[in-house]
Amino acid sequence: MQPNQDKVQRGAPPATVPFYNDPKKRAILFQIVTLLMVGLLAFYLISNTLTNLEKQSIATGLGFLQKESAFEIGESPIPYSAADTYGRALVVGFLNTLIVSSVGIIITIILGTLLGIARLSTNWLVSKLAAVYIEVLQDIPVLLQLFFWYAFFYNILPSPRSALNPIVGVFLSNRGLVFAVPEAHPVYKYMAIAVVVAGVVIYFLRRWAKQRQARTGQIFPALRVSLALVIGFPLLTWAIGGAPTAMNVPVLKGFNFIGGTNISPEFTALLLGLILYTAAFVAEVVRAGIQSVSKGQTEAAMSLGLKSAQVLNQVILPQALRVIIPPLTSQMLNLTKNSSLAVAIGYPDFVSVAGTTINQTGQAIEGVALMMVVYLTLSLLTSAFMNWYNKKTALVER
C-alpha cells in the first residue's frame, strides 16, 4: 500500500486546505491577534498617560527617590530623619510593613490553630467560647476593629506623666509600652550567634533522635533538651562574656520617655486588630482540616496506645496540614494586604509613607506603581514559600 493512499483513507485534510480552516493554524493566528491587541492597548494607555502628564506639566520618572523627603516618620527600625531621601523613607515604610505582617502571621497561626482545636474540643464551654469568638470577630470589618483598638489604647491608658508602672523599668501609657533594655554590649551579638548555633545543633539532634527511635524504639526527650539548648547556649555565652547587667532604663523627661524601647499604640493596635481578625478565619481553616481526617485515624492511633497529645501531633495534624495549607496561604496574604489599613490609625507602613510621598511630589502614578510592586512581591514570596511547604507536606503517591 502506498503511503499517500493511507492518508486519504484516514480522512486527514488534503494539502490544499486553506490556513484559516486548519484549527491548529487558526488557533495560533488568534493568539497572535490577541497579543497584538493587548500590546496595542498597553501602548495606547501608556503613551496617552505620558502625553497627558506632559500636557498638564506633571513631573514623571523615579528621580524623586533621590530628593530630600523633609518629613518625619513616627517609628523606624533603621535610623531616619527628615534630611534623608524619599527612597529611604519608602524603605522605612516597607520595613514597618514587613515587621507588622511577619509578626502578625506568626502569632495568627499559633492563635488560630489553638482556636481551631478549641472549637472541636469535647468541653462544651471551651468549644462554645471559641465558636462565639470566631463568629463575632469574622463578622466585624477589620477597619472598625482597628479603630476600636486604637481608641481603646489612647482613651484607656493614662498620659506619660502618670504612666502605669507595673514592674520596675516598664511603663504603660497612651504613648505605648516603654521598657528597659540591656545597655549595648558586644556580648549580645555573640548571644544571637549562640542561638543560631543552638538551632543547628537541635536540627541534627532531632534527626539523630528520630533515627534512633526508628532503630531501637527508644524515645529521646527532644523537646526538653532543645529548650535547654536554646536557653543554655546564649546564657553560657553571656556568662563567659563578663555577664554585663547594665540596663538602659527609660526616664520621663519633658514630654516623653527617653531611653529604653518603645512599642507604639499604633503598632499594637494594628497588630492586635489584624491578629484577632485573621485568627478567626485561620481557626475555621484549621477546624476544617482536622475534620477532614477520618475518625478511624484517631481510633487507630488511640488503639495503638498513643496519648491524646500524641494523637493530635503525630497523626491528625500532619494529615490535616495537607488540607490546611492552601487556604492558610490566602489568609496570610490577606493579613499582609490588610496591614495597609495602618494608614487609618497612623502606623507608618508602606502605604502611609508612599501616600505622603505621592502628595509631596505629586507623582501618583509612580507612587501607586511602587505600592503595587511591593505588595505583589510580598504576596508572591509568601505564596512561593507556602507552595514549597505544601509540596513538602503533600501526600507522596508511590
| Residues engaged in binding other proteins (CB under 8 A) | 37, 40-41, 44-45, 48, 52-53, 55-59, 70-74, 81-83, 147, 150-151, 154-155, 159, 174-175, 253-256, 258, 265-266, 343-346, 348, 352, 355-356, 358-364
Tell which residue, 153, 147, 143, 151, has the closest CA to residue 338: 143
CB count in 10 Å sphere of residue 58:
13
| φ, ψ of residue 281 in degrees (nearest 5) | -70, -45
Q: Nearest distance from residue 56's CB to other proteins, in Å?
A: 3
Tell which residue, 112, 24, 73, has the closest CA to residue 289: 112
Q: 48 or 292: whose CB is closer to other proteins?
A: 48
Q: Nearest distance from residue 312's CB to other proteins, in Å?
A: 44
Q: Nearest distance from residue 45's CB to other proteins, in Å?
A: 8
3-class DSSP assignment, residue 247: strand
Q: 209 or 341: whose CB is closer to other proteins?
A: 341
**Segment (H or E) for 178:** strand 176-179
Handedness of CA 317, 323, 329, 332 (dihedral sign): negative
Q: 147 or 190: whose CB is closer to other proteins?
A: 147
Please give the radius of gyration of the chain, using alpha carbons only, rounded to the nearest integer. 29
Q: 59 or 239: whose CB is closer to other proteins?
A: 59
The residue assigned the cell 515604610 is 93
Amino acid identity of residue 110, one-letter, is I
Q: Which residues contact 293 (CB under 8 A, 6 or more apart)?
A: 315, 316, 319, 320
Q: 278 or 361: whose CB is closer to other proteins?
A: 361
The residue assigned the cell 523633609 is 70
Q: 225 or 252: whose CB is closer to other proteins?
A: 252
Q: 4 or 57: whose CB is closer to other proteins?
A: 57
83, 253 Cβ separation under 8 angstroms: no
Q: 73 or 320: whose CB is closer to other proteins?
A: 73
Q: Nearest distance from residue 155's CB to other proteins, in Å?
A: 5
What is the spatial distance between Cα 382 and Cα 332, in angstroms, rounded to a whole number?
8
What is the spatial distance between Cα 28 and Cα 39, in angstroms, rounded to a whole number?
16
Tell which residue, 102, 116, 107, 118, has the closest CA to residue 280: 116
Q: Nearest distance from residue 138's CB to other proteins, in Å?
A: 25
Q: Nearest distance from residue 53's CB to other proteins, in Å?
A: 7
Q: Nearest distance from residue 158's CB to other proteins, in Å?
A: 8
What 8-state DSSP symbol labels residue 166?
A: S
